[in-house]
Amino acid sequence: MSPMIAFTGALLIDGQGGEPVADSVVLVDNGKIKEAGAKATVQIPEEAQIVDVTGKVIMPGLIDAHVHVHGAKNLNMAAVALEPNELQMGRALQDLPKLINAGFTTVRDVGSHVAVYIRDLVKEGVVKGPRIKTSRHMLSQTGGHADIHMIPTELNIFTTCDGVPEVIKAARTQFREGADFIKVCSTGGVLSEKDDPRWSQFRLDELKAIVYEAEAVQSYVASHAQGTQGIKNALLAGVRTIEHGIYIDEEGIGMMLDQKAILVPTLAIVHRIIQEGHKYGVPEFGIRKAERVYQEHIENMIIAHKAGVTIAAGTDFCSCAPVEHGGNALEMRLLVDDVGFTPMQAIVAATRDAAKAMQMEEEIGTLEAGKSADLLVLNVNPLTDISLLANTAHIEQVYLSGERLK
């Protein structure tokens, strides 16, 4: 058993969105939060090891609810598909310390052929890194977003399936191979050559069949959904999270509110592609589509946020420039600067609500009794300026299940 630890004296941001607590105590016992609150309300056992963090800020470990742990060398998916898995595995392993250094203690991988193995290596303690949940492959219809259009069909690294029997088999196969949840593509996308983000993909009966298979094993479905009707189709089918949501309309927003679905905008990847994509080999069609959608994406996220849709932070980052891991706090800054979040709301989006997106709200995301002791100690207050979190030097200590990793 690990020793009981009492972190004392910090300003506590617990991830629930309420007022921060000055001069706090966070008591950690055997990797879990035993108690967290004002020093006057928490009794510190004599055997506890005291960690004095007076003058610091203590908060939950950050969560990126949309990443790719796949070791891509660049954002040209055709090139990614033609590389050996062993090379990509090696690169992806190098991303783990970058994420920890940036304060990310949990990530949700939404499409990778190596993340299941990296997840298991982290669980075994062979490598140190953030907690990973993965969908393994993305599921796509033939000619859909995850059917890499620039190469022969047989070289595709994701899973294409058509019709209800095939999608059922594909979903069951992902779980057999270790997936934690299912990722589908219910629309086209920015980085797929021959489709358009506004085009709907998969029929409603196919999407419903996939959701059924996920819920049958107490899991859920995340949907890459950018076009208006494809978003609604995914929601009608019962998906838990909408990834991107670029062209969501008022009806779609109402459906999300009714179903308590969660929106993961991934503003950061489009922002970076527009700014720097031409420097790093992003295909011209991807840059062009990113430029076309970005402003409308922002405007629709503002409407969704004002309407009360639960929004979780996710970047769509991977191993390569301009979207390499380590800069994942950018999403929080964009939520504040472009969408109108307060810094506290952005922190909640990257802690409590990101945990909800992952179906892990009972385990992580807030500093509450019984939850995993995933926490950060900062030498700055991000409530004064959320962009401070982008400077990893401000993140002095990182703990995952009570174990110090930084």
- Strand pairing report for 5-8 and 24-29: antiparallel
Cα(118)–Cα(273) distance, integer angstroms: 27
Q: Euclidean distance between the first and final Cα of the chain, in Å?
A: 20
Residues 95 and 232 in one domain: yes
What is the model's pTM? 0.97
Residues 35 and 92 in one domain: no
pLDDT score at 1: 61
Q: Which stretches in the chain have pLDDT values below 70?
A: 1
Residues 80 and 56 in one domain: no
Cα(295)–Cα(218) distance, integer angstroms: 37
Q: Which domain holds residue 53?
A: 5-61+366-404
| Residue bearing tokens 């190596």 | 114
pLDDT score at 35: 97
CA 365 vs. chain centroid, Å, equals: 12
pLDDT score at 82: 86
Report the side by side order of strands in the sheet with 49-52: 32-38, 24-29, 5-8, 49-52
Residues 277 and 174 in one domain: yes
Where are the extended beta strands (E) located within 143-199? 159-160, 182-185
Where are the extended beta strands (E) located within 70-203? 104-109, 131-134, 138-140, 159-160, 182-185
User: Angle 250-259/228-237 helices, nearest 10 degrees?
Assistant: 20
Residues 383 and 322 in one domain: no
pLDDT score at 77: 81
pLDDT score at 283: 84
Residues 226 and 138 in one domain: yes
CATH number of domain containing 302: 3.20.20.140
Q: DSSP 3-state assignment of 159?
A: strand
Number of domains within the chain:
2
Residues 79 and 10 in one domain: no
Residues 33 and 110 in one domain: no
pLDDT score at 353: 98
Residues 242 and 100 in one domain: yes
Q: What are the contacts of 231-237 at 24+ separation with CB within 8 A?
A: 231/186, 231/187, 233/186, 233/200, 233/202, 233/204, 233/207, 234/184, 234/186, 234/207, 235/259, 235/261, 236/204, 236/207, 236/208, 237/204, 237/207, 237/208, 237/210, 237/211
Residues 213 and 78 in one domain: yes
CATH number of domain containing 55: 2.30.40.10
Exposure string of 390-400, with b = 16+ CB inside 10 Å and e = fewer, is: bebebbbbbbb
pLDDT score at 150: 82
Where are the extended beta strands (E) located within 316-389? 375-378
Residues 238 and 387 in one domain: no
Residues 82 and 45 in one domain: no
Q: Find out whether 47 and 92 touch, Cβ atoms under 8 Å.
A: no
Cα(331)–Cα(313) distance, integer angstroms: 6
